[in-house]
A = this chain, B = another copy of it.
Amino acid sequence: MTLLFFLQLRKPLVEKLRRERINSSIEQLKSLLGPEFLKQQPDSKLEKADILEMTVCFLTQLQQQNQNFPCHCDSLYNNEKETF
């Protein structure tokens, strides 16, 4: 029963940390989108869903841009392998 009690106490803490990681990443994505991009929605408070949809769009265009004008992006994946 002590273990069960411990697990019950632990669950909301784990969930809180998980939400903090998600929220922190979304804030970072927002800053990476850049002011020009964020101007598209000047009148409304940006929701998390808005930021994520803009990120999908931004990343898609950035990748298409790199396919059309390849610029040493082959090394990107190799760099990533060292990071993770």
CB pair A65 B59 closer than 8 Å: no
Query: Does A72 interact with chain B (Cβ within 8 Å)?
Result: yes
CB pair A18 B71 closer than 8 Å: no
CB pair A49 B80 closer than 8 Å: no
From B54, B69, B77, give the contact of A34 (CB < 8 A): B77
What is the CB-to-nearest-CB distance from A30 to chain B, in angstroms, rounded to a whole number? 10
The 7 closest A-B pairs by CB, nearest first: A40-B84, A25-B52, A69-B71, A21-B49, A71-B71, A36-B77, A28-B56
Known: A62-B62, A62-B63, A71-B71. 6 other contacts (CB 8 A): A29-B52, A32-B63, A34-B77, A40-B80, A57-B83, A65-B72
